[in-house]
Amino acid sequence: MEELLVKMEEFKSLHKMFQIEQALPLIAGPCAIENYAQMELVAQNLVKNNVRFIRGGAYKPRTSPYDFQGLGLEGLKILDDIRKKYNLIAISEIMDPRDIETGMKYTDVIQIGSRNMHNYSLLKEVGKTSHPVLLKRGMMSTVNEFLLAAEYIVCNGNKNLILCERGIRSFDSNTRNILDIACICEIKQQTNLPLVVDLSHSLGRKDIILPIVKAVMTMQVDAIMLEIHNDPNHALSDNNQQLSLPEFDVLVRHISS
């Protein structure tokens, strides 16, 4: 494997994005942006818990074409209004190179999701911008494939890149995916890029999330991504893995103590 550009020292400055004084290194929000009232309740909860990063899907790549696909531009506009109103840092996914300018306008960080890790046209185009990008590992990708996908962004000029381990598929159905702890260590050895771990998509369940949060935080990751919802039982997507707001409150108290 050729020398990786993602080893460069200049990436160390990106870690400052997550080093907000007194704020918890968490990124939280619903799987999908459903309406303004939902996002306002979530934002108020994040502010209460001293969490500065909000996530929410406006464009939802779903396995079934009949599932909720997100609000699209309307969702991004809701997220934009919420981030400004509550002084939050917003992260949301785009899937199409034609939506990059829109993503840059309405978010602080563009997310490239697991299904698009190999969308090289999208990687090249976000690489031509300087907008922060969070790249998720493909659900069946090796660590080297993940890092080479990151290279597509970096070698096109964008040094504002964050990596996200979100679990990989396996034969075991006890969790939605397998959280690859070794991947975390490997990436930290091979790169200077900030690293986020998405526990909601890797676990797909809430009952074991607290001890895993505590374990991952000891690995000096830059942030942990979680899905939270004001009414998970009636969420339009991934309701089993989204923490309710009271459940999130409890988790924050435990990891803060």
pLDDT (tens digit per residue) in 110-121:
999 999 999 999
Give the strand pairing for 24-29 and 133-136. unpaired
φ, ψ of residue 29 in degrees (nearest 5) = 160, 175
1 pLDDT higher than 60: no
Q: State pTM to two decimals.
A: 0.93
Q: To the nearest whole number, what is the mean pLDDT of the chain?
A: 92
Mean pLDDT, residues 148-177: 94
pLDDT digits (tens, 9 = 90+) for 230-256: 999 999 988 889 999 999 999 999 988
Residues 81 and 74: beta-carbon distance below 8 Å: no
For residue 257, how many other CB atoms are within 10 A of its CB? 5
- pLDDT band, very low/low/confident/very high, at 2 (cuts 50, 70, 90): low
Question: End-to-end distance of the chain based on CA atoms, in angstroms?
Answer: 43
